[in-house]
């Protein structure tokens, strides 16, 4: 038993995620410009590389924002389950972009190591300190929202901010070594840039996996399965709960359940039990958008 239409209960959460992504995009725009300009004036390639990474984050945040806005659309005739898949698809696009950026920056970092150039300027450290503090605060804020609304895309965007803080910290160390060590350590910031690329690449891989799992309808982990089973089993008339299949669609969950009842009851009574099971499951977890209940005679 399942109703053909259901309210898109996660629309507000998706809109919240979109606003967070938009805010992150504006912050990245400011920092990208500051890093690239500071790195160019201060002869610090690691800061330029970090700025390019922030510029790519702008694109990533825009993709996340667009994906969340699209995912917030209500179900229609062509998408009866809603548009929630746009959310993990956006996360995949961003993660792949991160991996490509890491590879490109790594190639350029190696070239810079073997190319003579001026040592970095001291003022570039001030830029990095501001970036590290702001980005870490932003990571904690966005990550908390991502976990609260169960959004893979928003959590992906949050880890972009954490990655930016880590790469800026690596840049800070590299530039500091170059300043302290003099001409013998002028390439320290370039080695730091190479480390930055490794961190970016690792983040890209870590972000790609959960998004791919969600697109492939991997069974959700955690307490939700037990919660659904317990809610169904507590309904009067339910003798046993057999199959319990759950998949995630954007920020919503869809449940397919087989419930065993007394085989001698009427169709009307079985139908009423199915209604009660669906109601109990949806009341147990607001993230559950719809429940399909199959009534079967319980094994004797």
Q: Tell me the range of 81-95, 146-160, 177-191, 235-249 where mean pLDDT is highest.
A: 235-249
pLDDT in the model for residue 160? 75
More confident residue, 243 or 68: 243
| Closest C-alpha among 142, 164, 167 to residue 152 | 142
Terminus-to-terminus CA distance in the chain, angstroms?
23
Q: What is the pLDDT of residue 5?
A: 39
pLDDT score of 290 more than 60: yes
Domains, the chain: 11-215 (1.20.1510.10), 224-297 (3.30.70.1350)
pLDDT in tens, 164-208: 787 788 778 877 887 787 666 666 766 777 777 787 788 788 778
- pTM surpassing 0.75? no
pLDDT of residue 41: 85
Task: Give me the half-sphere count of Cα atoms (radius 13 Å) on the Cβ side of residue 76.
Answer: 7
- CA nearest to 124, candidates 39, 227, 194: 39
The continuous run of DSSP H or E covering 291 comes out as strand 288-297
Neighbours of 244 (CB within 10 A): 18
């Amino acid at each position: 038993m399942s109703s053909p239409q259901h309210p898109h209960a996660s629309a507000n959460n998706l809109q919240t995620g979109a606003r967070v992504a938009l805010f992150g995009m504006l912050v990245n725009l400011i920092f990208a410009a500051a890093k690239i300009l500071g790195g160019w004036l201060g002869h610090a390639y690691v800061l330029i590389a970090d700025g390019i990474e922030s510029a790519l984050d702008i694109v990533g945040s825009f993709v996340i924002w667009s994906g969340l806005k699209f995912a917030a659309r209500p179900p229609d005739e062509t998408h009866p389950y809603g548009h929630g898949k746009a959310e993990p698809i956006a996360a995949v696009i961003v993660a792949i972009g991160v991996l490509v950026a890491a590879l490109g920056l790594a190639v350029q970092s190696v070239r810079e190591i073997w190319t003579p150039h001026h040592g970095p300027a001291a003022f570039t450290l001030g830029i990095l300190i501001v970036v590290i503090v702001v980005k870490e605060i932003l990571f904690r804020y966005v990550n908390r929202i991502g976990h609260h609304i169960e959004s893979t895309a928003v959590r992906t965007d949050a880890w972009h901010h954490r990655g930016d803080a880590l790469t800026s910290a690596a840049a800070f160390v590299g530039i500091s070594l170059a300043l302290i060590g003099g001409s013998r350590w002028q390439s320290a910031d370039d080695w730091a840039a190479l480390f930055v690329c490794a961190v970016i690449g690792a983040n890209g891989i870590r972000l790609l996996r959960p998004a791919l799992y969600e697109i492939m309808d991997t069974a959700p982990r955690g307490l939700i399965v037990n919660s659904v089973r317990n809610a169904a089993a507590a309904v009067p008339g339910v003798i046993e709960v057999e199959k319990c299949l759950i998949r995630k669609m954007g920020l919503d969950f869809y449940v397919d359940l087989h419930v065993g009842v007394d085989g001698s009851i009427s169709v009307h009574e079985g139908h009423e039990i199915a209604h009660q099971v669906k109601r109990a499951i949806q009341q147990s977890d607001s993230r559950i958008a719809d429940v399909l209940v199959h009534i079967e005679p319980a094994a004797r």
